[in-house]
């Protein structure tokens, strides 16, 4: 187990089968303190900041407890988590099989940087598990996907994809940013490594950047800590503090993100200026049936298409409450257009549902 230093020891023991929302508030807490202090120091009790710090350790303990992992490695951002994991697991001559739709900067890491060191990157449609089975017939080191893909919200059958990966001897890595451990816990389903952009729902308030790698085994966790030390991509103590605070309300925020998103998806699906809506909570969406058996809620992300380009442009200009910004998982509702299509990705926020729908309706009018 990763040790917390003597002065900051927690007396909270999550082994007493506490519920998720209790762990979200207490896991990693310090004795006799209502908040985790920010250790703004390059060295604490002999530990150098690039390898950890009591504030960062508390964040790692909290997320690893929620995700049911044995080790947490906090990183400067989600992309730094992704690049550190992939660089650690892959080498010249390695092969990685990914779902064809993943976060665009993950593709950039793979296609531009890892490919130049001779890593073979293969993209398949993992919503069709036969394609994955076929792809892993050739020796494959890593399988990588997002359960609800960014930005299309393709739904991957997580348990089956993990089983196929494990049967072929691959390491399975899941980017669980969209769902968070509140809605899905891939380590419980057999994944080896789960990572997050903590910038999104874990933070929840759009005020920091961060990432985390959660390893199923301590051995893998040590490797992840080691590469973080080598690359220097650690989370800052200030950001760890904000993330710890954000996570305390993760369960109630996710409940509201899910119910607001369901209402927005249903509203958009019946709107005359909308051609198509993808939200895994809609019976009409691909993967709805699998998602129903897999997640504790369908999340806050929606992808929809307007009837034409003019309406698409007008919508993005006319929204006022919903902001045309790139991030996701914040309290505010956020919308971004996707180049070349009339599609829009929406991160449904926590505002009153009547106000969100009013804004969308006036922007489409
Ligand atoms: C699914 C997913 N993974 C990773 C990232 C990268 O996270 P960060 O911006 O914290 O580097 C993002 C960012 O949007 C994302 O959507």
Cα of 106 vs centre of ligand 1, distance in Å, is 8
Percentage of the residues of the chain whose pLDDT score is greater than 70: 96
Q: Does 6-84+153-248 match 250-364 in CATH topology?
A: no
Where residue 32 falls (left for φ over 0; alpha for ψ -120 to 50; beta otherwise) is: left
Binning pLDDT at 50, 70 and 90, where does residue 8 land? Answer: low
Mean pLDDT of the chain: 96
In percent, how much of the chain has pLDDT > 90? 93
What is residue 315's predicted lDDT score, i.e. its pLDDT?
97
Q: Span 126-142, mean pLDDT?
A: 98
Which positions ≥6 away from 24 have C-beta within 8 Å?
62, 66, 182, 247, 248, 249, 250, 251
Domain residue ranges of the chain, discontinuous segments joined by +: 6-84+153-248, 250-364
CB neighbourhood size of 320 (10 A): 9
If you average pLDDT over residues 266-294, what whole number do you get?
A: 97
> Would you state the pLDDT for residue 321?
98
Give residue-wise pLDDT tens across range 182-196.
999 999 999 999 999
The model's pLDDT over 29-44, given as tens digits with 9 standing for 90+, comes to 998 899 999 999 999 9
The residue whose CA has the least distance to atom 6 of ligand 1 is 78
**Which residue's structure tokens are 């509702």?**
333
pLDDT at 13 over 90: no
- The closest of 17, 26, 131, 77 to 239, measured between CA atoms, is 77
Q: How many CA atoms lie within 13 A of 127 on its CB side?
A: 16
Distance, CA of 114 to CA of 108 (rounded, Å): 9
What is the position in ligand 1's atom list of the atom closest to the CA of 102?
Answer: 1
Range 260-267 average pLDDT: 98
Q: Which two tokens stand for residue 94?
A: 């390695």
> Residue 189: what pLDDT?
98
Q: Distance (Å, rounded) from C-alpha 333 to C-alpha 324?
A: 9
Confidence of residue 318 (pLDDT cuts 50, 70, 90): very high
Atom of ligand 1 nearest to the CA of 178: 1
Question: Which of 77, 79, 99, 174 gets mutated to test ligand 1 (max ligand atoms within 8 A of its CB)?
Answer: 79
What mean pLDDT is predicted for residues 117-124?
98
Beta strands across the sheet bearing 71-75: 71-75, 211-215, 193-197, 171-175, 142-145, 95-99, 120-124
- Tell me: domain 6-84+153-248, CATH 3.40.50.280, correct? no
pTM of the entire predicted model: 0.97
Q: Ligand 1 center to residue 206 CA distance, Å?
A: 13
Cα gap 259→256, rounded to integer Å: 5
Taking the C-alpha atoms of residue 247 and residue 160, their distance in angstroms, rounded to an integer, is: 29
Pocket of ligand 1 (CB under 6 A): 77-79, 103, 146, 150, 175, 177-178, 197, 199, 209, 211
Is 250-364 a CATH 3.90.1150.10 domain?
Answer: yes
Q: Which residue's CA is the nearest one to ligand 1's atom 16? A: 103
Angstrom distances, CA of residue 121 to CA of 95, 118, 173: 6, 9, 14
**pLDDT-based confidence at 12, cuts 50/70/90?**
confident
Distance 347 CA to ligand 1 centre (A): 13
């Amino acid at each position: 187990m990763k040790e917390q230093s003597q002065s900051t020891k927690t007396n909270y023991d999550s082994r007493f089968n506490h519920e998720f929302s209790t762990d979200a508030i207490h896991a990693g807490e310090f004795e006799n303190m209502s908040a985790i202090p920010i250790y703004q120091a390059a060295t604490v009790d002999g530990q150098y900041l690039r390898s950890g710090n009591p504030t960062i350790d508390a964040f790692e303990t909290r997320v690893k407890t929620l995700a049911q992992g044995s080790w947490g490695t906090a990183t400067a951002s989600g992309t730094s988590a992704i690049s550190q994991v992939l660089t650690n697991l892959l080498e010249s001559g390695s092969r990685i099989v990914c779902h064809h739709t993943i976060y665009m900067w993950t593709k950039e890491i793979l296609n531009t940087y890892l490919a130049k060191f001779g890593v073979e990157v293969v993209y398949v449609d993992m919503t069709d598990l036969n394609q994955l089975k076929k792809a892993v017939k050739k020796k494959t080191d890593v399988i990588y996907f997002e359960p609800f893909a960014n930005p299309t919200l393709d739904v991957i059958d997580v348990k089956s994809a993990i089983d196929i990966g494990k049967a072929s001897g691959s390491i399975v890595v899941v980017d669980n940013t969209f769902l968070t451990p509140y809605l899905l816990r891939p380590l419980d389903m057999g994944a080896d490594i789960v990572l997050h952009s903590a910038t999104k729902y874990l933070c929840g308030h759009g005020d920091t950047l961060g990432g985390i790698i959660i390893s199923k085994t301590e051995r893998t966790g040590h490797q992840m800590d080691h590469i973080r030390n080598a690359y220097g991509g650690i989370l800052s103590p200030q950001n760890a503090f904000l993330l710890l605070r954000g996570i305390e309300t993760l369960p109630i925020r996710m409940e509201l993100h899910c119910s607001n998103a369901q209402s927005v998806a249903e509203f958009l699906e019946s709107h005359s200026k909308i051609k198509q809506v993808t939200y895994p909570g809609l019976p009409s969406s691909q993967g709805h049936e699998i998602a129903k058996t897999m997640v504790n809620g369908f999340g806050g992300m929606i992808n929809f298409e307007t009837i034409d380009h003019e309406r698409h442009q007008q919508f993005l200009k006319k929204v006022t409450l919903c902001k045309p910004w790139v991030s996701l998982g914040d309290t505010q509702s956020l919308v971004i257009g996707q180049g070349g299509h009339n599609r829009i990705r929406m991160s449904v926020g926590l505002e009153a549902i009547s106000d969100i729908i009013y804004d969308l309706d006036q922007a489409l009018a």
